[in-house]
Amino acid sequence: MATDVHLAPPTAAPARTARSSSRTARAPRARLGILGWLVRIVLAVVFSFPLLFMFVSSLKPDAQIFGDLASLAAFLPVGNISLDNYAAVFDRVPAARFLINSVGVSVVTVALGIVINSLAAFALSRMRVPGKGLILTVIIATLIIPFETLALPLVWWVNQLPSLSVDEFGVAFTRGWLDTYQVQIVPFIVNAFAIYLFHQYFESIPKELDEAARMDGAGWFRIYRKVVMPLSGPAIATVAILTFLPAWNSYLWPLMVIQTEELRPVMVGIQYFYQLNVSWGEIMAYSTMITLPVIALFIAFQRSFINSIASTGVKG
């Protein structure tokens, strides 16, 4: 499985991309005719204008949003521009709380996921562990289970799990994880695809390096921390992005397991806006608030984002 990447230098990520791939991977130097350019531009309009409309409308009062529809003004920040909708969003919902919740849940999920999945992949790639062939097979086999098939039984299951609670009477065991932060984090830490990606990547790091470190008396954990992980930047970035996006965007799961307002993430918070007295300006403002950070991250780390998506297409 993927022995061709085995001897590659550690900088060659398993994911190939437009820029990093070598000359064999270059596209033919195509001449794009007028038609080609036209199609490109039309597609760019199709993909960007709805989002542009969202950003721009977040600055306008409702009457003007509808009024501008018939002209190009719908896509331009003109007319009665203000941040009123944003102020109204914070009045209507605890938006800051939702944002903090989502940032916290995503960051903790991603951070723990990187540590736990890479540790497992390290052991599977580098160490003699009984039954590791079977373990890797089971992990990869779980990839075909869509989360949607697990979600409903999982709701019942997390409601049976014991939980530690601390109150004025001391520490006690309670039953059920519903309505907690941990229920939004713990089930999503282990990620079969992340283990697979780390494993592929670790296989491309020469094992002579750990042997040399072991000669110097380094233990396994030290090799993991000081030799393998520092060389695995691209794999870490890929896993971080691939686990961050679903964590930030999660909707189905928190919808089912969170009732308390203070624990809600941003995507569930959106419900407040389209249920009673709909204000489209506020919807656009809230949508912009929870979308712009991700788009900013994407534009800042564009190469890594594209790499990580491309890596989902890599097969053994």
Segment 144 to 183, residues that bind another protein, using CB under 8 A = 144-146, 148-157, 159
> N- to C-terminal Cα distance for the chain?
5
Q: Does 33 bind another protein (CB under 8 A)?
A: no
Minimum CB separation of residue 192 from another protein in Å reads 7
DSSP string, 219-275: -HHHIIIIIIGGG-HHHHHHHHHHHHHHHHH--HHHHHH---GGG--HHHHTHHHHH
Q: Return the structure tokens found at 166.
A: 């601390």
Region from 29-37, 84-92, 103-111, 226-234 binding another protein, contact rule CB under 8 A: 29-37
Contacts of 173 (CB under 8 A, 6+ apart): 162, 163, 164, 165
Among 96, 211, 230, 261, binds another protein (CB under 8 A): 211
Binding mask 212-241 for another protein (x = CB under 8 A): ---x---xxx--x-----------------
Question: Whole-angstrom Cα distance, residue 181 to residue 164?
Answer: 13
Burial of 175 (0-12, 13-18, 19+ CB in 10 A): exposed
State which of positions 96-115 bind another protein (CB under 8 A). none
Residue 124 engages another protein in binding (rule: CB under 8 A):
yes
| Of the residues 2, 25, 96, 172, which one makes contact with another protein according to CB under 8 A | 25
Please report whether residue 270 would count as binding another protein according to CB under 8 A: yes
**Segment near another protein (CB under 8 A), from 81-89, 92-100, 208-216, 227-235?**
208-216
Judge contact between 28 and 51, C-beta under 8 A.
no
The answer to whether 73 contacts another protein (rule: CB under 8 A) is no
- Does residue number 245 form part of the binding site for another protein (CB under 8 A)? yes
Provide, rounded to whole angstroms, the least separation between the CB of residue 277 and another protein: 15
Q: Please compute Rg for the chain using Cα positions.
A: 24
